[in-house]
Structure 1
Amino acid sequence: MSRLPTFFVSHGSPMLALDAGNAGKVWAAIGRDLPRPRAVLMVSAHWHASGGAVGAVAQPDTIHDFGGFPPVLYTLQYPAPGDPALAREVFELLGAQGFSPRVDLTRGLDHGAWVPLRVMYPDADVPVVQLALDMRQGPAWHYRLGQALRSLRDSGVLIVGSGSMTHNLHDVFGAEPVSPAYVAPFQAWMHQRLDHGELDALLDYRQQAPHAARAHPSEEHLLPLFVALGAADGEPVVRLHDEVTERVLAMDVYRFG
């Protein structure tokens, strides 16, 4: 199999599990147009572990890690198998590069993983292994994490970072009737730096990008991008989608390689 690209997807509201809209068309095209992977390594904004962690469950549960949504959302299942052998491979690759993740034998798939995956691979027949973020660490650490895993792309593993290009829930529920002025400038700054391969600026986005702290009051929804970017090994970048939903959630999707 030829080397697979990596992706960053903005997963949006859990409601996209019922109607994925325009973003879903892009997710579906990824699953349809790529060679079938042997597994997906998913890095979601919604799993954090000190030092990192690798999910090694043979049959991960579907985690409904949200509240206040219509009851039908809590009935949805994504019964994709896990891949304990791949989880061990991830653990060993990371260990060889000085990381110390733990192997988790209980963790299922959170909505940052299964909401886009159920559109990408609706038959739930591609194994999924989830990799945790470490919220004590910043973009550079997560970029190196991705670099340590780039060889997986040559053996049929699709690496996907799932988060959001902007993510400020206070503003989602705020009173402003239109998209606040920070969303488009932050999107544009990130796109320009990704498009031109300006890695140093990207790793320092917190200081250099316009309105970074308002676009991301905390970093968990952007850190998956840096894992995908690190695994891409400097290959070309294409933005596949840049819609804004809920006035403030930039739904950018990027392909690397």
Structure 2
Amino acid sequence: MTRLPSLFLSHGAPTLPIDPSLPSAEFASLSAELPRPNAILMLSAHWMTAQPVASTAENPETIHDFYGFPRPLYEIEYPAPGAPDLARRAAERLGAAGIASSSEPRGLDHGAWVPMLLMFPAADVPVAQLSIQPRRDPAHHFRVGRALRELRDHGVMVIGSGQITHNLREADFSARPEDADPRVTEFTDWFEARLAARDIDALLDYRRRAPHAVSMHPTDEHLLPLFAALGAAGDHFQMQIQPLGTYQRVLAMTNYVFADA
């Protein structure tokens, strides 16, 4: 079986599926270009725990973990089957790598079901979710991804879901894409150059080395899933970039695919 790529997705606002001004169709286009997975292991910025927790839910509920949005958003259900066996395998792989973890049945938060809905609208790909650790550094999440790498040999797509830039404190929800803060491009250009060079040391130290890192990520929970996806990638990965623009002035939406050469 072909080793599947790992992905990092910028999942945007919860309204992505219902707001025509946001780039929802592009997620389907990306999915159509990729091998179809047997199952997905999703690491979302919106499930945060002290140590990794794998969801063993057989029929995960659709969690509407937001407030103040249009009512139709709360009526969306994403009834994909769970992947409890995958969750248990993920926990086993983490344990073998010396990373303590646990498991519990849990639904899919919007960082998981929003991109899944757009990429696999038939809800026919089983999905298990794995939590991130906001008090741990990028290196920890890279090690988590490394522990999960071999799952990709068995039809599993490892996906990190967050945002390549994420600063709600400076967001302007009336801004147009052309109103993007220039610091967004400076940060993402640096990040993508380091990814293209496979400069893992620099990437793991991005908060000191990248321009405007703290402005683009006052807290880095929306970037931590990228390091897990990067860890799950092969040593000589080839990167595909799907730029979708910048919204609300400082929220860049770019998707990344890490595939073996």
- Please give the range of the TM-score, normalised by the shorter of the 2 chains: over 0.9
Whole-angstrom distance in 2 between the partners of 1:21 and 1:81: 30
Aligned partner of 1:49 in structure 2 is 49
Aligned partner of 1:253 in structure 2 is 255
Deviations 1:147-190 (A, max 9, x none): 00010111000111100010000111489883223211111111
Q: Which stretch of structure 1 is more off in the superposition, 2-11 or 12-21?
A: 12-21
Q: Give the partner amino acid of 2:217.
A: H
Aligned partner of 2:116 in structure 1 is 117
Aligned partner of 1:39 in structure 2 is 39
* Contact kept in structure 2, 1:5 and 1:256, CA below 8 Å: yes
Deviations 1:64-88 (A, max 9, x none): 1111111111010100010111111
* Contact kept in structure 1, 2:173 and 2:248, CA below 8 Å: no
TM (norm. structure 2) is: 0.94
* Contact kept in structure 1, 2:171 and 2:248, CA below 8 Å: yes
Whole-angstrom distance in 2 between the partners of 1:74 and 1:242: 25
Aligned partner of 2:138 in structure 1 is 139
Q: How far apart are residue 21 of structure 1 and its match?
A: 5.8
Q: Give the partner amino acid of 2:52.
A: G
Aligned partner of 1:182 in structure 2 is 183
Change (3 A) 1:28 1:176: closer
Deviations 1:105-133 (A, max 9, x none): 2x110001011110110000100000100
Change (3 A) 1:86 1:153: same
- Unaligned runs of at least 5 residues, structure 2: none
Kindly report which structure 2 residues correspond to 1:50-65, keeping only aligned pairs within 5 A, or say none. 50-65=50-65
Whole-angstrom distance in 2 between the partners of 1:158 and 1:20: 28
* Contact kept in structure 2, 1:26 and 1:241, CA below 8 Å: no
Alignment partner for residue 243 of structure 2, among 234, 237, 241? Answer: 241
Kindly report which structure 2 residues correspond to 1:176-215, keeping only aligned pairs within 5 A, or say none. 178-215=179-216
Q: Which stretch of structure 1 is more off in the superposition, 91-100 or 177-186?
A: 177-186
Q: Secondary structure of 2:182's match? A: coil
Q: Give the partner amino acid of 1:3.
A: R
* Contact kept in structure 2, 1:195 and 1:238, CA below 8 Å: no
Q: RMSD value over aligned CA atoms?
A: 1.6
Q: Give the partner amino acid of 1:61.
A: E
Q: Which stretch of structure 1 is more off in the superposition, 33-42 or 133-142?
A: 33-42
Aligned residue pairs total 256
Q: How far apart are residue 239 of structure 1 and its match?
A: 1.1
Aligned partner of 1:13 in structure 2 is 13
- Unaligned runs of at least 5 residues, structure 1: none
Percent identity reads 49
